[in-house]
Structure 1
């Protein structure tokens, strides 16, 4: 792609209808925070340098369950302390300026056309954006991606995916072309995108492409989601958990089956899966309940009890933190569909 066409592509990543493109900025930090808490999640923000008064540009539109935002603070800012219980994945595309995305032991500096993907529930995350930054961002509920994986592949990707932030997109990429299509459509037909079938179709296209590219960068094969690229004893432990999650095995029992100590197993899970045996077990149980609920054939209580949950209050809280909704909401949607 030539430099001229690249600049043209960047200018098109604007979902605002023409009547909303008149320059208007917001300089009230409280108003900006109230907006970002709803559109993304709660996080801490602080200005950097001499310019501490914002000149924020804010626009959003819903695409099914995805929130698409066209946003800038208008000043150099640092963001951190993102809400780990929001149940949201962020896909942050730099349209203008430079952004630096920090995660433990790694950081990525992005310029135009690249998207940083992170699940804040699995990875502590920080963002440094310069004064000239302009972002096209997607806020994607975890449940959209897990529901799509269940429908398309019959299973949910392992924790390796959710705990692996990555950079996708770039010039000539399918992801950038899809964002271009989505923003053009939103600008031309905002009502259809926000409330009609067009929006539901766009939602699935965006979720599917995001999941596909994220999995490729994380080294996760979506067609064999239970496969684990790790030593044999880790695969043995994973297989045992997958087969016996309903029976609530202890970590000592799992380690014994794998033929290693609890400490060795925990270290290997952290290295190869980005999680712990206990968290992996919890994940499989919650995903098992979710499969029961999305089938629409089980009550919430029956599905929870089938996977070993007795305290319904604790279960509902854990489920909501993982999927961003109550189990009853999952069941209602499945029954309605």
Structure 2
């Protein structure tokens, strides 16, 4: 735990940086989620500060996940800062407990990745079985709490600009842009990175500048999707570099033959897809082995992969629809009969409804 007087750490702690936050990007981040670029206060529903542990924990469960918090001393009340904004599927928070704390037992079932970006004070993070990493103003730390355990200590001066990113969102964007999902060599790596003048700090400043007084992103949802993909792809690249993992084609080929063969079958036959048992039989493995291969090397199930290919195929069909085609007819041609359920998953994936895709295609035509 922290020494309450000096916030000193033990001998195995590696200090990642010791400089103060500075520069134009740092100035922007200092006011993150307080005012927009026009100087207008950013509004938020609900309390933005609290001295009640239950209220603070309710906020944390909402924006991060369930976990255990222990203050450095009994009967120590928080002086919390609690601000949030949504950027696509990424939750952005300005947060501090206002007192020294220890956090652990992060719930893996929540399925979330945390990126902790320190504005003031310091955090000490579990990095591996033997080492810790200390991050200070300007530094960042990433951990996938759905794939590995984690704990942290925070001093009484800590103030964070944090990101909560669903693991599934990262996996989906990786598949879309890279053609594969990194395996657990990446997701289980806890990494300190960033620093003053880094591209990550510049990206955070850009994201913060895009927020309006309403706490929304200008031009959302297209702008929100753009920022979400920028955040996830830049984080993937930084994370992979720190973990010593290549994101080039060689990483894709690391998957076993039956996984790659199954991908080819499902991608080419997405319109009239075979069952998982049929796919497994055609590539020469059991359904269980196929599922395990996808989980390990793609970070998703075979059905998730097929579902994504089918949605992409439907989107392409809507964009190429003829004058007499409707959403109903195109969707039926792809085997979709519940248009209400389809609209929900389609919008979650592409940020628009099937009808909007069709209308945009006709406007262009």
**Normalised-by-shorter TM-score class:** 0.5 to 0.7
* Partners of 1:110 and 1:98 in 2: CA distance: 6
Partner of 1:135: 160
What is the TM-score with the length of structure 2 in the denominator?
0.61
Unaligned runs of 5+ in 1: none
Q: Are 2:107 and 1:81 equivalent residues in the alignment? A: yes
CA RMSD of aligned residues (A): 5.1
Shift of 1:240: 1.0
* Partners of 2:127 and 2:339 in 1: CA distance: 37
Q: Are 2:230 and 1:208 equivalent residues in the alignment? A: yes
Say which SS state the counterpart of residue 161 (structure 2) adopts: strand
- Checking the alignment, whether the CA contact within 8 Å between 1:80 and 1:125 is kept in structure 2 is no
Kindly report which structure 2 residues correspond to 1:45-124, keeping only aligned pairs within 5 A, or say none.
45-47=68-70, 49-51=72-74, 53-61=77-85, 67-74=91-98, 75-76=100-101, 77-78=103-104, 80-81=106-107, 84=110, 90-95=114-119, 96-100=121-125, 109=133, 111-112=135-136, 113-116=139-142, 118=144, 123-124=146-147
Say which SS state the counterpart of residue 248 (structure 1) adopts: coil
Kindly report which structure 2 residues correspond to 1:248-259, keeping only aligned pairs within 5 A, or say none.
248-259=273-284
Aligned length: 311
* Partners of 2:260 and 2:108 in 1: CA distance: 32
Residues 164-209 of structure 1 deviation map (CA, whole Å, 9 limit, x = unaligned): 53647423431122224555x47xx853984646997687356325
Which protein is bigger by CA-based radius of gyration?
A: 2
Kindly report which structure 2 residues correspond to 1:1-337, keeping only aligned pairs within 5 A, or say none.
7-8=21-22, 12=27, 13-14=29-30, 15=32, 16-17=34-35, 25-36=49-60, 40=63, 43-47=66-70, 49-51=72-74, 53-61=77-85, 67-74=91-98, 75-76=100-101, 77-78=103-104, 80-81=106-107, 84=110, 90-95=114-119, 96-100=121-125, 109=133, 111-112=135-136, 113-116=139-142, 118=144, 123-124=146-147, 128-132=151-155, 133-139=158-164, 155=176, 160-161=181-182, 164-165=186-187, 167=191, 169-171=193-195, 172-183=197-208, 185=209, 191=213, 194=216, 196=218, 204-205=226-227, 207-215=229-237, 217=240, 219-221=246-248, 228-289=253-314, 295=319, 302=329, 305-310=332-337, 319=345, 324=348, 330-331=353-354, 334=357
- Checking the alignment, whether the CA contact within 8 Å between 1:233 and 1:260 is kept in structure 2 is yes
- Checking the alignment, whether the CA contact within 8 Å between 1:41 and 1:83 is kept in structure 2 is no
* Partners of 1:45 and 1:304 in 2: CA distance: 46
Unaligned runs of 5+ in 2: 1-16, 42-47, 361-365
Residues 126-151 of structure 1 deviation map (CA, whole Å, 9 limit, x = unaligned): 5533232432123467998799889x
